[in-house]
Structure 1
Protein backbone atom coordinates (compact mmCIF):
# COMPACT_ATOMS: atom_id res chain seq x y z
CA UNK A 1 0.00 0.00 0.00
CA UNK A 2 1.27 3.46 -0.89
CA UNK A 3 1.74 6.13 1.78
CA UNK A 4 -0.56 8.21 -0.41
CA UNK A 5 -3.51 6.28 1.04
CA UNK A 6 -2.62 7.55 4.54
CA UNK A 7 -2.72 11.24 3.57
CA UNK A 8 -5.67 13.28 4.81
CA UNK A 9 -6.71 15.25 1.73
CA UNK A 10 -8.49 17.78 3.99
CA UNK A 11 -5.23 18.69 5.76
CA UNK A 12 -2.92 19.16 2.79
CA UNK A 13 -0.38 21.98 2.99
CA UNK A 14 -1.54 24.50 0.40
CA UNK A 15 2.06 25.48 -0.37
CA UNK A 16 5.12 23.21 -0.25
CA UNK A 17 8.63 24.56 -0.76
CA UNK A 18 11.58 22.26 -1.49
CA UNK A 19 15.33 22.80 -1.34
CA UNK A 20 16.49 20.21 -3.87
CA UNK A 21 19.86 19.31 -2.37
CA UNK A 22 22.31 16.49 -2.95
CA UNK A 23 22.61 16.13 -6.74
CA UNK A 24 26.38 16.56 -6.68
CA UNK A 25 26.95 14.23 -3.71
CA UNK A 26 24.66 11.62 -5.26
CA UNK A 27 26.76 11.70 -8.43
CA UNK A 28 30.05 11.60 -6.52
CA UNK A 29 28.89 8.54 -4.57
CA UNK A 30 28.37 6.83 -7.94
CA UNK A 31 31.75 7.92 -9.25
CA UNK A 32 30.20 10.35 -11.71
CA UNK A 33 30.49 14.04 -12.53
CA UNK A 34 28.27 16.50 -10.62
CA UNK A 35 26.26 17.29 -13.76
CA UNK A 36 25.26 13.62 -13.87
CA UNK A 37 23.46 14.21 -10.57
CA UNK A 38 21.73 17.35 -11.81
CA UNK A 39 20.54 15.48 -14.90
CA UNK A 40 18.98 12.73 -12.80
CA UNK A 41 17.54 15.31 -10.41
CA UNK A 42 15.18 16.34 -13.22
CA UNK A 43 13.40 12.98 -12.82
CA UNK A 44 12.71 13.83 -9.19
CA UNK A 45 11.35 17.22 -10.21
CA UNK A 46 8.89 15.50 -12.55
CA UNK A 47 7.85 12.99 -9.90
CA UNK A 48 7.28 15.57 -7.17
CA UNK A 49 5.45 18.02 -9.42
CA UNK A 50 3.21 15.19 -10.56
CA UNK A 51 2.72 14.01 -6.97
CA UNK A 52 1.66 17.46 -5.77
CA UNK A 53 -0.66 17.95 -8.74
CA UNK A 54 -2.33 14.58 -8.15
CA UNK A 55 -2.90 15.32 -4.46
CA UNK A 56 -4.32 18.77 -5.06
CA UNK A 57 -1.53 20.86 -3.56
CA UNK A 58 -2.04 24.41 -4.81
CA UNK A 59 1.54 25.77 -4.77
CA UNK A 60 4.96 24.13 -5.09
CA UNK A 61 8.15 26.20 -4.95
CA UNK A 62 11.41 24.55 -6.01
CA UNK A 63 14.76 26.14 -5.11
CA UNK A 64 16.53 25.39 -8.36
CA UNK A 65 19.44 27.86 -8.45
CA UNK A 66 20.53 30.43 -5.88
CA UNK A 67 22.36 33.70 -6.44
CA UNK A 68 25.29 32.08 -4.60
CA UNK A 69 25.33 29.20 -7.09
CA UNK A 70 26.80 31.56 -9.69
CA UNK A 71 30.09 31.13 -7.78
CA UNK A 72 30.26 27.41 -8.60
CA UNK A 73 32.77 26.14 -11.21
CA UNK A 74 32.07 27.65 -14.63
CA UNK A 75 31.55 24.27 -16.33
CA UNK A 76 28.89 23.32 -13.78
CA UNK A 77 27.01 26.62 -14.11
CA UNK A 78 27.11 26.38 -17.90
CA UNK A 79 25.87 22.78 -17.76
CA UNK A 80 23.05 23.74 -15.38
CA UNK A 81 21.91 26.56 -17.66
CA UNK A 82 21.90 24.21 -20.67
CA UNK A 83 19.95 21.66 -18.66
CA UNK A 84 17.48 24.35 -17.59
CA UNK A 85 16.79 25.45 -21.17
CA UNK A 86 16.45 21.88 -22.42
CA UNK A 87 14.16 20.85 -19.56
CA UNK A 88 11.83 23.83 -19.90
CA UNK A 89 11.50 23.26 -23.64
CA UNK A 90 10.60 19.60 -23.12
CA UNK A 91 8.30 19.98 -20.12
CA UNK A 92 5.83 22.62 -21.33
CA UNK A 93 3.51 20.07 -23.04
CA UNK A 94 3.44 18.01 -19.83
CA UNK A 95 2.69 21.09 -17.74
CA UNK A 96 -0.22 21.96 -20.00
CA UNK A 97 -1.47 18.37 -20.02
CA UNK A 98 -1.57 18.42 -16.20
CA UNK A 99 -3.05 21.96 -15.97
CA UNK A 100 0.08 23.30 -14.21
CA UNK A 101 0.91 27.01 -14.28
CA UNK A 102 4.58 28.00 -14.25
CA UNK A 103 5.97 31.00 -12.35
CA UNK A 104 9.56 32.15 -11.75
CA UNK A 105 11.04 34.21 -8.91
CA UNK A 106 14.59 35.54 -8.76
CA UNK A 107 17.01 37.83 -10.57
CA UNK A 108 16.17 36.49 -14.02
CA UNK A 109 18.30 39.18 -15.67
CA UNK A 110 21.39 37.17 -14.65
CA UNK A 111 20.31 34.14 -16.71
CA UNK A 112 21.59 33.62 -20.27
CA UNK A 113 19.38 35.13 -22.97
CA UNK A 114 18.17 31.77 -24.28
CA UNK A 115 17.14 30.70 -20.78
CA UNK A 116 15.22 33.95 -20.29
CA UNK A 117 13.44 33.44 -23.61
CA UNK A 118 12.49 29.83 -22.86
CA UNK A 119 11.17 30.82 -19.44
CA UNK A 120 9.11 33.68 -20.86
CA UNK A 121 7.59 31.38 -23.48
CA UNK A 122 6.83 28.66 -20.92
CA UNK A 123 5.21 31.13 -18.53
CA UNK A 124 3.08 32.50 -21.36
CA UNK A 125 2.10 29.06 -22.69
CA UNK A 126 0.97 27.84 -19.25
CA UNK A 127 -0.63 31.11 -18.09
CA UNK A 128 -4.22 29.91 -18.58
CA UNK A 129 -3.77 26.74 -16.49
CA UNK A 130 -5.72 26.60 -13.22
CA UNK A 131 -4.22 23.64 -11.34
CA UNK A 132 -0.94 23.46 -9.44
CA UNK A 133 1.14 26.66 -9.40
CA UNK A 134 4.76 25.59 -9.96
CA UNK A 135 7.16 28.31 -8.79
CA UNK A 136 10.79 27.97 -9.83
CA UNK A 137 13.27 29.96 -7.71
CA UNK A 138 16.07 30.73 -10.17
CA UNK A 139 18.99 33.04 -9.45
CA UNK A 140 17.12 33.65 -6.21
CA UNK A 141 18.12 34.37 -2.65
CA UNK A 142 16.05 35.75 0.18
CA UNK A 143 18.57 38.46 1.07
CA UNK A 144 18.47 39.64 -2.56
CA UNK A 145 14.66 39.62 -2.48
CA UNK A 146 14.45 41.63 0.76
CA UNK A 147 17.08 44.08 -0.50
CA UNK A 148 15.05 44.65 -3.68
CA UNK A 149 11.89 45.16 -1.62
CA UNK A 150 13.60 47.74 0.59
CA UNK A 151 14.99 49.58 -2.44
CA UNK A 152 11.49 49.87 -3.87
CA UNK A 153 10.03 51.03 -0.55
CA UNK A 154 12.76 53.67 -0.09
CA UNK A 155 12.26 54.90 -3.67
CA UNK A 156 8.50 55.25 -3.22
CA UNK A 157 9.00 56.97 0.14
CA UNK A 158 11.43 59.46 -1.45
CA UNK A 159 8.87 60.18 -4.16
CA UNK A 160 6.21 60.84 -1.53
CA UNK A 161 4.13 57.83 -2.53
CA UNK A 162 4.71 56.03 0.77
CA UNK A 163 4.93 57.03 4.44
CA UNK A 164 6.36 55.01 7.36
CA UNK A 165 2.85 54.36 8.58
CA UNK A 166 1.97 52.71 5.28
CA UNK A 167 4.54 49.93 5.82
CA UNK A 168 2.80 47.09 7.62
CA UNK A 169 3.51 43.37 7.46
CA UNK A 170 0.84 43.03 4.78
CA UNK A 171 2.10 45.88 2.63
CA UNK A 172 5.71 44.72 2.97
CA UNK A 173 4.72 41.33 1.53
CA UNK A 174 3.50 43.16 -1.57
CA UNK A 175 7.08 44.16 -2.37
CA UNK A 176 8.42 40.61 -2.24
CA UNK A 177 8.88 38.32 -5.25
CA UNK A 178 6.29 36.01 -3.72
CA UNK A 179 3.58 38.65 -3.37
CA UNK A 180 1.13 36.61 -5.46
CA UNK A 181 1.54 33.42 -3.43
CA UNK A 182 0.67 32.36 0.13
CA UNK A 183 3.54 31.57 2.48
CA UNK A 184 4.72 27.93 2.45
CA UNK A 185 3.28 25.69 5.14
CA UNK A 186 5.81 22.90 4.63
CA UNK A 187 9.47 23.26 3.66
CA UNK A 188 11.39 20.12 2.67
CA UNK A 189 15.17 19.89 2.37
CA UNK A 190 16.83 16.77 1.04
CA UNK A 191 20.34 15.33 1.51
CA UNK A 192 20.75 15.71 5.26
CA UNK A 193 21.56 19.40 5.58
CA UNK A 194 19.68 21.17 8.39
CA UNK A 195 19.57 24.78 7.21
CA UNK A 196 17.47 26.90 4.86
CA UNK A 197 20.31 28.47 2.87
CA UNK A 198 18.94 31.93 2.13
CA UNK A 199 15.62 30.53 0.91
CA UNK A 200 12.32 32.34 1.63
CA UNK A 201 13.60 33.61 4.98
CA UNK A 202 10.64 35.96 5.50
CA UNK A 203 8.01 33.57 4.15
CA UNK A 204 9.10 30.51 6.19
CA UNK A 205 8.47 32.19 9.55
CA UNK A 206 5.80 29.66 10.53
CA UNK A 207 6.43 26.85 8.06
CA UNK A 208 7.00 23.32 9.29
CA UNK A 209 10.54 22.26 8.39
CA UNK A 210 11.21 18.70 7.24
CA UNK A 211 14.76 17.42 6.72
CA UNK A 212 15.64 14.08 5.18
CA UNK A 213 18.92 12.31 4.40
CA UNK A 214 17.60 11.20 1.00
CA UNK A 215 19.56 12.76 -1.87
CA UNK A 216 17.40 14.73 -4.31
CA UNK A 217 17.78 12.32 -7.28
CA UNK A 218 16.32 9.57 -5.05
CA UNK A 219 13.48 11.72 -3.60
CA UNK A 220 10.31 10.50 -5.28
CA UNK A 221 6.58 10.43 -4.61
CA UNK A 222 6.71 8.10 -1.60
CA UNK A 223 9.27 10.42 0.04
CA UNK A 224 6.98 13.37 -0.64
CA UNK A 225 4.04 11.52 0.89
CA UNK A 226 6.12 10.72 3.97
CA UNK A 227 6.93 14.43 4.43
CA UNK A 228 3.26 15.40 4.08
CA UNK A 229 2.18 12.78 6.61
CA UNK A 230 4.81 14.07 9.03
CA UNK A 231 3.41 17.59 8.50
CA UNK A 232 -0.12 16.40 9.20
CA UNK A 233 0.96 14.85 12.50
CA UNK A 234 2.38 18.13 13.83
CA UNK A 235 0.55 20.64 15.99
CA UNK A 236 0.75 24.10 14.47
CA UNK A 237 0.32 26.66 17.25
CA UNK A 238 1.38 30.00 15.69
CA UNK A 239 2.40 31.35 19.09
CA UNK A 240 -0.64 30.00 20.95
CA UNK A 241 -0.68 27.26 23.55
CA UNK A 242 -1.69 23.65 22.85
CA UNK A 243 -4.85 24.15 24.92
CA UNK A 244 -5.85 27.15 22.83
CA UNK A 245 -5.29 25.27 19.57
CA UNK A 246 -7.22 22.22 20.72
CA UNK A 247 -10.11 24.40 21.89
CA UNK A 248 -10.56 25.92 18.40
Structure 2
Protein backbone atom coordinates (compact mmCIF):
# COMPACT_ATOMS: atom_id res chain seq x y z
CA UNK A 1 0.00 0.00 0.00
CA UNK A 2 2.81 2.40 0.83
CA UNK A 3 4.47 1.89 -2.55
CA UNK A 4 1.22 2.59 -4.38
CA UNK A 5 0.62 5.69 -2.36
CA UNK A 6 4.15 6.96 -2.92
CA UNK A 7 3.59 6.60 -6.63
CA UNK A 8 0.23 8.37 -6.53
CA UNK A 9 1.67 11.31 -4.61
CA UNK A 10 4.04 12.03 -7.47
CA UNK A 11 1.72 11.44 -10.40
CA UNK A 12 -0.46 14.47 -11.13
CA UNK A 13 -0.88 18.17 -10.40
CA UNK A 14 -4.25 17.40 -8.83
CA UNK A 15 -2.61 15.09 -6.30
CA UNK A 16 0.24 17.58 -5.79
CA UNK A 17 -2.42 20.08 -4.75
CA UNK A 18 -2.97 18.44 -1.35
CA UNK A 19 0.70 18.27 -0.38
CA UNK A 20 1.94 20.64 2.31
CA UNK A 21 4.26 23.42 1.28
CA UNK A 22 6.46 23.05 4.38
CA UNK A 23 7.04 19.90 6.44
CA UNK A 24 8.99 19.89 9.72
CA UNK A 25 10.42 16.85 11.49
CA UNK A 26 11.31 16.02 15.07
CA UNK A 27 13.58 13.06 14.38
CA UNK A 28 13.21 11.16 17.64
CA UNK A 29 14.10 7.67 18.82
CA UNK A 30 17.69 7.06 17.73
CA UNK A 31 18.89 6.13 21.21
CA UNK A 32 15.95 3.86 22.02
CA UNK A 33 16.29 2.15 18.62
CA UNK A 34 19.89 1.30 19.51
CA UNK A 35 19.10 0.22 23.06
CA UNK A 36 16.44 -2.21 21.85
CA UNK A 37 19.13 -3.87 19.76
CA UNK A 38 21.76 -3.91 22.48
CA UNK A 39 23.84 -1.33 20.61
CA UNK A 40 25.49 1.88 21.81
CA UNK A 41 23.39 5.01 21.35
CA UNK A 42 25.73 6.34 18.68
CA UNK A 43 24.76 3.38 16.49
CA UNK A 44 21.23 4.75 16.55
CA UNK A 45 22.45 8.18 15.49
CA UNK A 46 24.39 6.64 12.61
CA UNK A 47 21.29 4.76 11.49
CA UNK A 48 19.34 7.98 11.87
CA UNK A 49 21.62 9.72 9.38
CA UNK A 50 20.73 7.10 6.77
CA UNK A 51 17.04 7.70 7.45
CA UNK A 52 17.69 11.42 7.11
CA UNK A 53 19.20 10.95 3.65
CA UNK A 54 16.21 8.89 2.51
CA UNK A 55 13.76 11.45 3.90
CA UNK A 56 15.46 14.33 2.10
CA UNK A 57 15.46 12.27 -1.08
CA UNK A 58 11.74 11.55 -0.79
CA UNK A 59 10.96 15.21 -0.10
CA UNK A 60 12.85 16.13 -3.27
CA UNK A 61 10.97 13.49 -5.24
CA UNK A 62 7.68 14.94 -4.00
CA UNK A 63 8.91 18.46 -4.86
CA UNK A 64 8.22 19.88 -1.41
CA UNK A 65 9.25 23.51 -1.12
CA UNK A 66 10.50 23.52 2.49
CA UNK A 67 11.77 20.79 4.80
CA UNK A 68 12.82 21.55 8.39
CA UNK A 69 14.81 19.09 10.51
CA UNK A 70 15.31 19.34 14.29
CA UNK A 71 18.86 18.03 14.27
CA UNK A 72 20.27 19.16 17.62
CA UNK A 73 18.51 21.11 20.36
CA UNK A 74 20.07 23.61 22.74
CA UNK A 75 19.22 21.14 25.53
CA UNK A 76 21.13 18.28 23.88
CA UNK A 77 24.45 19.65 25.15
CA UNK A 78 23.56 18.17 28.53
CA UNK A 79 23.88 14.63 27.15
CA UNK A 80 27.04 12.64 27.93
CA UNK A 81 30.09 14.26 26.35
CA UNK A 82 30.93 11.09 24.43
CA UNK A 83 27.50 11.10 22.76
CA UNK A 84 27.68 14.82 21.94
CA UNK A 85 31.15 14.37 20.45
CA UNK A 86 29.91 11.47 18.35
CA UNK A 87 26.93 13.49 17.08
CA UNK A 88 29.25 16.37 16.14
CA UNK A 89 31.39 13.87 14.26
CA UNK A 90 28.35 12.69 12.31
CA UNK A 91 27.49 16.29 11.47
CA UNK A 92 31.00 16.91 10.14
CA UNK A 93 30.87 13.78 7.99
CA UNK A 94 27.38 14.58 6.72
CA UNK A 95 28.44 18.04 5.55
CA UNK A 96 31.60 16.72 3.93
CA UNK A 97 29.86 13.84 2.15
CA UNK A 98 26.41 15.25 1.35
CA UNK A 99 26.80 18.99 0.80
CA UNK A 100 28.05 18.66 -2.77
CA UNK A 101 25.17 16.35 -3.69
CA UNK A 102 22.55 18.63 -2.12
CA UNK A 103 24.07 21.60 -3.91
CA UNK A 104 23.97 19.70 -7.22
CA UNK A 105 20.28 19.03 -6.62
CA UNK A 106 19.63 22.78 -6.26
CA UNK A 107 18.83 22.52 -2.52
CA UNK A 108 19.19 25.72 -0.50
CA UNK A 109 20.30 25.16 3.10
CA UNK A 110 19.39 27.48 5.96
CA UNK A 111 20.52 26.99 9.56
CA UNK A 112 18.38 28.18 12.47
CA UNK A 113 19.36 28.27 16.12
CA UNK A 114 21.87 30.13 18.27
CA UNK A 115 25.40 30.36 16.94
CA UNK A 116 26.87 31.63 20.18
CA UNK A 117 29.64 29.51 21.74
CA UNK A 118 29.60 26.82 19.05
CA UNK A 119 32.88 25.00 18.37
CA UNK A 120 34.66 26.95 15.64
CA UNK A 121 34.83 24.08 13.16
CA UNK A 122 31.13 23.27 13.60
CA UNK A 123 30.20 26.91 13.05
CA UNK A 124 32.35 26.96 9.92
CA UNK A 125 30.60 23.85 8.58
CA UNK A 126 27.20 25.48 9.10
CA UNK A 127 28.31 28.69 7.39
CA UNK A 128 29.83 26.70 4.53
CA UNK A 129 26.56 24.83 3.98
CA UNK A 130 24.60 28.08 3.79
CA UNK A 131 27.09 29.96 1.64
CA UNK A 132 27.59 27.10 -0.81
CA UNK A 133 23.86 26.77 -1.49
CA UNK A 134 22.57 30.32 -1.02
CA UNK A 135 21.90 30.90 -4.73
CA UNK A 136 19.97 27.66 -5.21
CA UNK A 137 16.30 27.87 -6.10
CA UNK A 138 15.02 24.37 -5.33
CA UNK A 139 13.81 22.97 -2.02
CA UNK A 140 14.88 24.89 1.08
CA UNK A 141 16.33 22.57 3.72
CA UNK A 142 16.14 24.23 7.14
CA UNK A 143 18.35 22.63 9.78
CA UNK A 144 17.59 23.50 13.40
CA UNK A 145 20.96 23.20 15.15
CA UNK A 146 21.62 24.34 18.72
CA UNK A 147 17.99 25.39 18.53
CA UNK A 148 15.40 25.99 21.23
CA UNK A 149 12.16 27.84 20.52
CA UNK A 150 12.07 29.67 23.85
CA UNK A 151 15.65 30.83 23.31
CA UNK A 152 14.73 31.95 19.80
CA UNK A 153 11.81 34.02 21.11
CA UNK A 154 13.97 35.49 23.88
CA UNK A 155 16.66 36.51 21.39
CA UNK A 156 14.07 38.11 19.12
CA UNK A 157 12.54 39.96 22.08
CA UNK A 158 15.95 41.25 23.18
CA UNK A 159 16.61 42.61 19.67
CA UNK A 160 13.29 44.43 19.70
CA UNK A 161 13.88 45.73 23.24
CA UNK A 162 17.25 47.18 22.17
CA UNK A 163 15.56 48.96 19.25
CA UNK A 164 12.97 50.45 21.60
CA UNK A 165 15.66 51.52 24.08
CA UNK A 166 17.63 53.17 21.26
CA UNK A 167 14.57 55.07 20.05
CA UNK A 168 14.46 53.15 16.75
CA UNK A 169 11.08 51.64 17.52
CA UNK A 170 7.94 52.56 19.45
CA UNK A 171 6.35 49.92 21.71
CA UNK A 172 3.10 50.53 19.82
CA UNK A 173 4.77 49.27 16.64
CA UNK A 174 5.39 45.83 18.10
CA UNK A 175 3.03 43.28 16.59
CA UNK A 176 3.11 39.66 15.44
CA UNK A 177 4.66 40.53 12.10
CA UNK A 178 7.47 42.49 13.74
CA UNK A 179 8.29 39.75 16.22
CA UNK A 180 8.18 37.17 13.44
CA UNK A 181 10.64 39.22 11.42
CA UNK A 182 13.20 38.90 14.23
CA UNK A 183 12.90 35.12 14.59
CA UNK A 184 15.43 32.75 13.04
CA UNK A 185 12.77 31.74 10.50
CA UNK A 186 12.14 35.27 9.21
CA UNK A 187 11.13 35.13 5.56
CA UNK A 188 10.17 31.47 5.71
CA UNK A 189 6.59 30.13 5.73
CA UNK A 190 5.33 28.44 8.88
CA UNK A 191 5.25 24.63 8.70
CA UNK A 192 1.98 23.18 7.43
CA UNK A 193 2.78 19.75 8.85
CA UNK A 194 5.02 18.64 11.71
CA UNK A 195 5.91 14.95 12.01
CA UNK A 196 7.42 13.46 15.15
CA UNK A 197 8.67 9.90 15.33
CA UNK A 198 9.15 7.51 18.30
CA UNK A 199 5.60 7.65 19.66
CA UNK A 200 6.14 10.80 21.75
CA UNK A 201 3.43 13.47 21.48
CA UNK A 202 5.06 16.77 22.37
CA UNK A 203 6.88 19.65 20.66
CA UNK A 204 9.98 19.60 22.88
CA UNK A 205 10.64 23.33 22.50
CA UNK A 206 10.57 23.21 18.70
CA UNK A 207 9.04 25.96 16.52
CA UNK A 208 6.60 27.05 19.22
CA UNK A 209 5.74 30.37 17.55
CA UNK A 210 5.69 29.01 14.02
CA UNK A 211 3.46 26.02 14.83
CA UNK A 212 0.38 27.99 15.88
CA UNK A 213 -1.66 26.47 13.02
CA UNK A 214 0.52 23.54 12.07
CA UNK A 215 -0.99 20.09 11.69
CA UNK A 216 0.73 17.44 13.86
CA UNK A 217 1.28 13.77 13.07
CA UNK A 218 2.90 11.57 15.73
CA UNK A 219 4.15 8.22 14.49
CA UNK A 220 4.96 5.18 16.62
CA UNK A 221 8.18 4.40 14.76
CA UNK A 222 11.75 5.18 15.78
CA UNK A 223 13.57 7.57 13.46
CA UNK A 224 16.08 5.01 12.10
CA UNK A 225 13.10 2.90 10.94
CA UNK A 226 11.28 5.85 9.36
CA UNK A 227 10.68 5.04 5.69
CA UNK A 228 9.04 6.54 2.62
CA UNK A 229 5.82 4.72 3.47
CA UNK A 230 5.70 6.40 6.89
CA UNK A 231 6.27 9.79 5.25
CA UNK A 232 3.45 9.10 2.81
CA UNK A 233 1.17 7.99 5.65
CA UNK A 234 1.71 11.32 7.41
CA UNK A 235 1.03 13.20 4.18
CA UNK A 236 -2.17 11.21 3.73
CA UNK A 237 -3.31 12.26 7.22
CA UNK A 238 -2.54 15.88 6.34
CA UNK A 239 -4.51 15.68 3.09
CA UNK A 240 -7.64 14.62 4.98
CA UNK A 241 -7.59 17.51 7.45
CA UNK A 242 -9.62 20.69 7.11
CA UNK A 243 -7.34 23.59 8.03
CA UNK A 244 -9.69 26.28 9.35
CA UNK A 245 -7.26 28.76 10.92
CA UNK A 246 -9.93 29.71 13.47
CA UNK A 247 -12.73 29.96 10.90
CA UNK A 248 -15.84 27.81 10.71
CA UNK A 249 -14.69 26.04 7.56
CA UNK A 250 -12.17 26.31 4.77
CA UNK A 251 -10.77 24.40 1.86
CA UNK A 252 -7.60 22.40 2.16
CA UNK A 253 -4.38 24.38 2.05
CA UNK A 254 -2.83 24.13 -1.39
CA UNK A 255 0.68 24.47 -2.66
1:221 corresponding residue in structure 2: 228
What TM-score does the superposition give when structure 1 sets the normalisation length? 0.96
Residue 17 of structure 2: SS of its match in structure 1?
Answer: helix
Stretches of structure 1 lacking an aligned partner (at least 5 in a row): none
Residue deviations 1:50-78 (CA, integer Å, cap 9, x gap): 11111111111100000110101111011
Q: Which residue of 2 aligns with 1:130?
A: 137
The root-mean-square deviation of aligned C-alpha atoms, in Å, is: 1.3
Distance 2:34 2:151 in 1: 30
Of 80, 88, 92 in structure 2, the residue corresponding to residue 73 of structure 1 is 80
The structure 1 segments of at least 4 consecutive aligned residues displaced by more than 6 Å after TM superposition are: none
- Greater displacement, 186-195 / 124-133: 124-133
Which deviations, in whole Å up to 9, do the C-alpha atoms of 1:3-57 show, x marking residues without a partner? 2234320121111000000000000011100000001101111111111111111
Residue 177, structure 1, aligned to residue 184, structure 2? yes
Matches within 5 A, 1:192-231: 192-231=199-238
d(CA) in 1 for partners of 2:92 and 2:142? 16
Q: Any idea what SS the aligned residue of 1:11 has? A: coil
Number of the residue aligned with 2:5: 3
CA distance in 1, matches of 2:56, 2:117: 25
How many pairs are equivalent?
A: 245
Aligned to 1:53: 60
Q: 13, 16, 19: which is aligned to 2:26?
A: 19
Of 238, 241, 248 in structure 2, the residue corresponding to residue 241 of structure 1 is 248
- Looking at structure 2, the residues matched to 60 and 223 of structure 1 have their Cα atoms a distance apart, in angstroms, of 16
TM-score by length of 2: 0.93
Residue of structure 1 in register with 2:48 after alignment: 41
Name structure 2 gaps, 5 residues minimum: 10-14
CA distance in 1, matches of 2:20, 2:245: 15
Pick from 94, 99, 105 the counterpart of residue 106 of structure 2: 99
The equivalent residue for 1:188 is: 195
Specify the alignment match of 2:12 in structure 1: none
